[in-house]
Amino acid sequence: MRPVPESCMAEPRLARLWAAREVVLFAVVTLLLLAGAAAAVAGAEKWASAVWAGTTLLGLAYSTITIAVALRHRQPSVDVIAWLALAGALLVGEPLAGAVIAVMLFTGGVLEARASARARRELSRLAAGAPRTARREGPDGVDEIPVDRVAVGDRLVVGAGELVPVDGRLLDGGVFDESALTGEPLPVERRAGEDVRSGVVNAGSATRMLATQTAAASTYAGVVRLVEQAQASSAPFVRLADRFALAFVPLTLLAAGLAWAISGQAVRAVAVLVVATPCPLLLAAPIAIMSGLSRMARHGVIVKGGAALERLAAGRVLLFDKTGTLTRGRPLLTGVITDRDMLADEVLRLSASLDQSSAHVLAAPIVTAARDRRLALSPAADVREQHGFGIEGTVDRHSVRLGKASWVVDGTAPDWVRRARRRAALDGSLTVFAAVDGRPAAVLLLSDPLRPDAPRMMRTLRDAGIGRTVLVTGDRADIAETVGRIVGVDAVYADRDPADKLAIVRTEQHTTPTIMVGDGVNDAPALAAAGVGVALAARGVTASAEAADVVLTADRVDGLADAILIARRSHRIARRAAAVGMALSLVAMVPAAAGLLTPVAGAILQEVIDVAAIGLALTALLPGRTHTVTLPPPDLAAARQLYAQHIAIRPLVEQIRAVADDLSVTQPDLRPMRALLDRLEGDLLPHERAEEAQLLPIIERALGGPDPTGALSRTHAEIEHQIRRLRRGSQDISDRPEPEDVTDLRAGLYGLYAIMQLHNAQEEENAFSLMPPATVEP
């Protein structure tokens, strides 16, 4: 209980003293108790009684203040038992019992203060050291400016060891320490074209970036606001303690009254009150809850108060938005469909060279894809961006135009363009049309991929007690149903606007406690209406994070599983600690009422009970079951190396489909297919064999259980079988094959492509999702 706010303390020295008041009061009453004991040993009984009586009065004054504060807030309080015990000890001439109760009272205050300070420290770590300045490139060189003067589109230089000042996109690759935001201690390597967030530290050499947000709209400023909200939240753990108090206080008063009435001895009533004094005991509940808040903060989860943690632990229905929650929320280049006369890599190189200068949301994945394929980008000249249509410029003396079909493709679209549109419609992909020297050259396909950590997280939550999962999205029904089937939700609501989402959340909340997870502005009403709202804020703090009760700062949805598991464990420990302590107090009331315990003996016994209960509550700080798997450094290094190869092999997998699409029955040309098979045998098969030898043992060690890698090993064998089958088929066919032979080869290519897509998704879900946050990027 804090009757005087810290802000009222004008003098810094007094403010520091007030902040440490629990420790100061505990030290004072402990010294007074020991001084009284010393006086009693020396034979000065009157002095000892006087000192102990003063200690009791100090505790009585403190409990009076806490009761007054509780009454002002119209809250029940168990401190009334402590007040009666202290007053009774004075009235029946048991000052030593009163002094012991006072020490017990302030011991609880110290423990609460330390647990609360630990939780605040873990939260404040996220907000400490906000960026203050930035170095901006200009015509006259690099100037250091205040961070609030950075504008979108500015080119910035971030030196070694410096904080990234604003959210942006990297122009050069770099290595960053993102632990302040994600809790992940290992440096993260990011490629040119990837997004980088404000507040992370450049752990490598100097790098350049393009600002995509102002300082006020960047991630770090939002995190600071969230931390301020979390720290301003009133301590709600009293709710759990006071639910016990509603029953315990009347029971205690009844037991004390009966003991007095039956025996006629007031000292027995005091003894009952002493053994029932539950103030430090019931601090076991808030200590456990605050320990849970502290553990969550270390996992990159901001929880806005203990009430949110309790509601998170109680949730049984989980509702998800799709975009940015179950999916990445960022487009990924999935295919380049070109005219027969154009090379896909060359069109992609020209497109990415032009898009380097753009801050458009679709520019980054195109640039990233080109760099993943190790294409040499060139500077673009005469760049002009037409809002709502696209961008054009000159790259290596070629006129390049990117954007909408109506702006890029003149007249009737060629067959390959119609094929690209049909594929995009079937896959739910975005399209960017590219023209080179005034001629349609390619269609770039982009999609929002599923988060690989989502399906495993969903299975963990079901094991933890989540009874129903629901996908609520504004996306098309066919796309939503596909995502829902993959992650394993129970119900899918598609084509829903924010008002529809709000109505669905309210309907679910009416029957069962709900948890709503989202990341967009349109999710904010639903997040606010749910039992507890959870927002992903890895790429910036939006209205959803402001409305949510829990915020995940790492760009991984499986952090939700850790948060729920920690919340449930902390809440379970809080209830267990309070229940155990209260049960022991009830048992101790019997000998106290019977006159077998004096008030002094009862106070010492109650102190032992309280320490035991608080010790049990502190076990919430110990590591418990979590969803996240920590890989040993050698396994993590091997997994990262294999993941880099996995990323590099993606264009080759897409080439399987492209070759199958171009394999004509009327004018078959088997040369592209045979060249593809050479690459599959030279690049893909060695990679799959390396995964069989290195990656699968890592998965077995990390996940355990019966045969966790059987399906992956079987698909490795099937991939090799299909490639050998295609090789034999292409060798047995002449250069002028029959139509049915071509049809068989196309079917084999499409089958191999489907197997590769499924296999890669399984590897990302079961293997690469085990790597730490920010290590796995599309």
Active site residues: 321
Residue 680 CB-half CA count within 13 A: 25
Residue for token pair 């135009």: 401
Cα 201 to Cα 213: distance, rounded to the nearest angstrom = 18
Alpha-carbon distance of 592 to 600, in angstroms, equals 11
CA distance 166 to 304: 25
Question: Which are the contacts of 97, defined by CB distance < 8 A and separation ≥ 6?
Answer: 85, 89, 270, 274, 598, 599, 600, 602, 603
- Phi first, then psi, for residue 89 (nearest 5°) are -60, -40
Amino acid at 619: T
CA–CA gap between residue 415 and residue 434 (Å, rounded): 15
- Which stretches of 465-523 are DSSP H helices? 477-487, 498-511
Residue whose structure tokens are 């990390």: 702
DSSP state of 189: E
Using CA atoms, how far apart are residues 385 and 666, in angstroms rounded to an integer? 42
Other Cβ atoms within 10 Å of 370 Cβ, number: 24
For 494-637, list the strands marked E by DSSP: 514-518, 532-536, 550-552
Closest CA to 440 of 486, 471, 405: 405
Q: Which contiguous run of DSSP H or E holds residue 740?
A: helix 739-766
> How large is the C-alpha radius of gyration of the chain?
33
Give the sign of the dihedral formed by CA 53, CA 58, CA 62, CA 65.
positive
- The H or E element that residue 262 is part of is helix 238-263
61 within 8 A of 82, measured Cβ to Cβ: no
E strands present in 7-51: none
User: Could you tell me how many residues make up the chain?
Assistant: 778
Q: Is 99 in a helix, a strand, or coil?
A: helix
> Encoding tokens for residue 616?
């049990």
For residue 336, the one-letter residue type is: V
